[in-house]
Structure 1
Amino acid sequence: MAANRTHDLPVVVIGAGPVGLAAAAHLLERGLEPLVLEAGEQVGSAVRAWGHVRLFSPWEYDVDAAAVRLLEPTGWESPDRAELPTGAELVERYLTPLAATPQLAGRIRTGTRVVAVSRAGVDKTRTVGREGRAYVVRTVAGGRVEDLAARAVIDASGTWGQPNPLGASGLTAVGEEQAGDWLVGPLPDVLGTDRARFAGRHALVVGMGHSAANTLLALVELQRAEPGTRISWAIRGRSPARLYGGGDADGLPARGLLGSTLKAAVQAGSVTLHREVTLTGLAPTADGRLRVRGTGRDGAPVDLQVDALAAATGFRPDLEVLREVRLDLDPGLEAPTRLAPLIDPNSHSCGTVPPHGHRDLAHPDEGFYLVGMKSYGRAPTFLLATGYEQVRSIAAALAGDTEAADDVQLHLPSTGVCSTDLGDREAAEAGGVGFATGSAHGFAAEQPEPAACCGTAAQPVP
């Protein structure tokens, strides 16, 4: 087959999470052939990793319209739109039955890892004759390497499994790579399978996103049953005001409760907060603990000995497999250049996540798209509804329906955090002064660092 004859090739979707399966559903509705490749042995493998956590986005924001249209003829019943599912429920009640529909079941390959993407017959340096060529997607499944041809590629693989380091300047702390025995990941099952690692012990949580909040609140609950449990929390910033959020003003009540409950736990002394921390070194102690060293507020030394460390420092996209694709990425966020200003956490604490679709997600190599959490690069803001609208627009564009592709719509709940007063709130919080919650205005979708492709987490399930 000629390299530029692509009309009868499938659109490869990388990742069988919520956004990847939604992409497949939209492609089918447009008469295009999807092929979904999932590295895990089951669909939704990243979501399963934090299945014990309850989302703070209700089902209303967690299911895709095209996916529902596939599910309904099978007798599937929609969950209560106001109910908050756990990650496990999202998989069991939505992703698993969606993947089992007759339309999708034969178009999903699990246990298939994508290791490279390129253009047929040319490397990244060649420009002449590049346009219109098929994509080559190299996979490994069961030890077997196979090159698949595709007319387009939608990368919905997320960022789970690619954590940011604990050290400063985007680099690992000295000794971090040897501290694996004490690292428990961003969302350990504190009240379930991992309970023995924390009960009656000293845990340190590093990070200031919803992943950190979830783990901290689970530890607080464990502390009530196991009074010897000690909880330390280290943040790089001077104040956790952004995480405390808007309380009752939050458009997602569970998200508001998450922040306000954590704030109360810190004020009550259940959690010891260390501000402006720079971790410099990790090393095992003679008695089998982990020594964590660094500097804190005003340069004061930080020297803790802990039994477990939850690194909730966020994630970054794996771009290595895309080295042969011509990408247009923001140099800071590693998100598509046109999308980056809309989601930059340096300037967006609230306001809006404007509707965005295929044009904002396009790259110099036509027909290639990053979607879902991976499209946000290093930015920590994402909601499933955003990803669903991304892939709806992209599917329409690939089918040639430019009018529908450009008609992007997005409705997201209020954050309850007002950017106009955030500086004052942070200053007050850093000084130990309480602050009043400002009125919510604008829209944003805040995602905990872990959620590679899904909604936002609320609280662990006991």
Structure 2
Amino acid sequence: MSELPVVVIGAGPQGLAAAAHLIERGEDVVVVERGQGAASAVSQWGHVRLFSAWPELTDSAARRLLEPTGWSAPASGYPTGAEWVSDYLAPLAGALGGRIRYATTVTGVARQGRDKVVDAGRRSSPFVVHTVDVDGVESRILARAVVDASGTWGMPNPAGADGFPAVGERAASDLISYRIPADVSELAGEHVVVVGAGHSATHAVLRLSELARRAPGTRVTWLLRRGSAANVFGGGSGDELPERAALGARARKVIDQGVVELVTGFRVAEFRAGGDGMTIVAEDGREVATVGRVFALTGFRPDTGILRELRIDLDTSLEAVAGIAAEIDPNIHSCGSVSATGARELAQPEPGLFIVGAKSYGRAPTFLALTGYEQVRSVAAHLAGDHEAAARTELVLPDTGVCGGSGDFGEADGASCCAAPSVLQIGRIPSTSPEPARSLTLETS
């Protein structure tokens, strides 16, 4: 098997970085990418500006591969997704050349001649990566190891609070989007609702708030499942990524100014169609009416279907790699940042298989490019037999400044490990009169 390549699934930021590290260590690599070009998922949110600066967005081995070509790493600034692709990811893919197979979808990964049940000879059998191209031609690639960096972009979570689509969600699919909007001008004068509490939802709220300022009659309502809005606004001065802190500060400002209506503790149960727009109904019976468009930005989940014939170990709650689940669990994670994760934590019961990047986090939020780059550096070292380098931690992640996780999901004043004041939004009672609904804001310590 030593003569077989390592197959990397996905030519996104982590997949390309994994290939660069493996090549630097003299390993044969094949990268399989379903898109027509590199980082096709990033290109789909190319209009969004990242809160990580350029120094946090490029990988060390990738830089070493690119620099002899005359490329130089951008020294500062915060690129959009499109700029990340054009100024770094596309050149990196170009340097990898024919090692990348584009427009090719991985349909499954197994051990040659052995399904999941068979023990005998399993460890000595190569992996078989099943693929299909755009013309429907099927093929198989034999591999000595597989690095799954396929991400989670294709599996957005539904708006329904219990993890399944809410009643009427599928029927209203033409009015519900699961992506951050690029052009919101067509929504002028509409009542637009954003569901979700993460950075994607915050980006969408801010984009829509700009529309609400310049287009009278535009309403923006932000629905949070949590009873508290404290963590939504980020860690402020305690966040070591300034633009991430600024994102939260801007969101707090549009709420305080009344440009956006914030509704907390709202867990979507149903979408009802009506002549004057949709009505969104919560599990507790509250309603948000006359809705013209919804952006459900409630995170993503991994698609592990391609690995169903391999033996994998995922956390039962997060669907994250079991070895890192305790570090990233938003229910229990407290102050500070998670530790960097490497080959030891990412190892699967199937020797030679590694799940990296956003997919390794499963449903857990706040994955940073830096985390993925450290993961693939360690995994490449392990696959090359450099176990000392694989075990070494070469990254200290920036602190978020946010205390507690979503363990306060059902509480208005969830416990926190920090003493800094936080703003809590205590519900919103829908108004039956023309007067806008109001919310109560408390300052607590």
Asked if TM exceeds 0.5, the reply is yes
Spell out, residue by residue over 1:128-164, the C-alpha distance to the aligned partner (whole angstroms, 9 max, x if none).
Answer: 2111211111111021111111111100011002011
Question: Contact conserved, 2:279 with 2:287, CA < 8 A, in 1?
Answer: no
Distance in 1 of aligned mates of 2:173 and 2:419: 37
* Structure 2 partner of 1:195: 185
Question: Contact conserved, 1:10 with 1:151, CA < 8 A, in 2?
Answer: yes
Distance in 2 of aligned mates of 1:423 and 1:253: 21
Question: Contact conserved, 1:203 with 1:307, CA < 8 A, in 2?
Answer: yes
Question: Contact conserved, 1:317 with 1:377, CA < 8 A, in 2?
Answer: yes
Question: Contact conserved, 1:13 with 1:34, CA < 8 A, in 2?
Answer: yes
Per-residue deviation, 1:30 = 1.0
Distance in 1 of aligned mates of 2:262 and 2:128: 49
* Structure 2 partner of 1:121: 113
Distance in 1 of aligned mates of 2:86 and 2:326: 36
Which of 84, 91, 96 is residue 78 of structure 2 equivalent to? Answer: 84
Distance in 1 of aligned mates of 2:48 and 2:334: 24
* Structure 2 partner of 1:316: 301
Per-residue deviation, 1:263 = 0.9
Gaps of 5+ in 2: 405-415, 427-439
Distance in 1 of aligned mates of 2:109 and 2:418: 42
Distance in 2 of aligned mates of 1:257 and 1:426: 16
Distance in 2 of aligned mates of 1:79 and 1:387: 19
User: Which range moved further: 129-138 or 425-434?
Assistant: 425-434
* Structure 1 partner of 2:70: 75
Please tell me whether residue 96 in structure 1 is matched to residue 90 in structure 2. Answer: yes
Q: For residues 91-240 of structure 1, what are the structure 2 equivalents within 5 Å?
A: 91-101=85-95, 104-142=96-134, 143-189=136-182, 192=183, 194-196=184-186, 198-240=187-229
Distance in 1 of aligned mates of 2:418 and 2:163: 25
Per-residue deviation, 1:410 = 1.4
Question: Contact conserved, 1:186 with 1:313, CA < 8 A, in 2?
Answer: no
Distance in 2 of aligned mates of 1:393 and 1:23: 9
Question: Contact conserved, 2:225 with 2:267, CA < 8 A, in 1?
Answer: yes
* Structure 1 partner of 2:238: 249
Distance in 2 of aligned mates of 1:323 and 1:341: 23
Distance in 2 of aligned mates of 1:396 and 1:50: 31
Distance in 2 of aligned mates of 1:272 and 1:428: 14
Per-residue deviation, 1:422 = 5.4
User: Which range moved further: 214-223 or 415-424?
Assistant: 415-424
Per-residue deviation, 1:307 = 1.3
Per-residue deviation, 1:184 = 2.1
Partner-residue secondary structure (3-state), 2:393:
coil
- Counterpart residue identity of residue 39, structure 1: R
Per-residue deviation, 1:69 = 0.5
Distance in 2 of aligned mates of 1:111 and 1:23: 19
Gaps of 5+ in 1: 1-5, 437-462
Cα gap change, 1:78 to 1:338, in 2 (>3 Å): same
- Counterpart residue identity of residue 84, structure 1: Y
* Structure 2 partner of 1:445: none
RMSD between superposed Cα atoms in Å: 1.7
Aligned-residue identity in percent: 50
Distance in 1 of aligned mates of 2:27 and 2:420: 51
Per-residue deviation, 1:246 = 2.0
Question: Contact conserved, 1:248 with 1:257, CA < 8 A, in 2?
Answer: no
* Structure 2 partner of 1:456: none
Per-residue deviation, 1:228 = 1.7
- Counterpart residue identity of residue 97, structure 1: P
User: Which range moved further: 37-46 or 301-310?
Assistant: 301-310
Cα gap change, 1:121 to 1:329, in 2 (>3 Å): same
Spell out, residue by residue over 1:313-337, the C-alpha distance to the aligned partner (whole angstroms, 9 max, x if none).
Answer: 0000001111001001111111121
* Structure 2 partner of 1:42: 37
The normalised TM-score by structure 2 is 0.91
User: Which range moved further: 343-352 or 12-21?
Assistant: 343-352
Which consecutive segments of 4 or more residues in structure 1 shift more than 6 A? Answer: none
Per-residue deviation, 1:381 = 2.3
Partner-residue secondary structure (3-state), 1:147:
strand
The normalised TM-score by structure 1 is 0.88
Per-residue deviation, 1:94 = 0.2
Spell out, residue by residue over 1:351-379, the C-alpha distance to the aligned partner (whole angstroms, 9 max, x if none).
Answer: 23112210100111100010000000110
Question: Contact conserved, 2:213 with 2:259, CA < 8 A, in 1?
Answer: no
- Counterpart residue identity of residue 87, structure 2: R
* Structure 1 partner of 2:315: 330
Cα gap change, 1:179 to 1:349, in 2 (>3 Å): farther
How many residues matched? Answer: 420
User: Which range moved further: 15-24 or 275-284?
Assistant: 275-284
Per-residue deviation, 1:254 = 1.0
User: Which range moved further: 28-37 or 243-252?
Assistant: 243-252
Partner-residue secondary structure (3-state), 2:314:
coil
Spell out, residue by residue over 1:224-283, the C-alpha distance to the aligned partner (whole angstroms, 9 max, x if none).
Answer: 221221101111101111111122332111111111111111121111111111212113
Distance in 2 of aligned mates of 1:129 and 1:425: 59
Question: Contact conserved, 2:336 with 2:401, CA < 8 A, in 1?
Answer: no
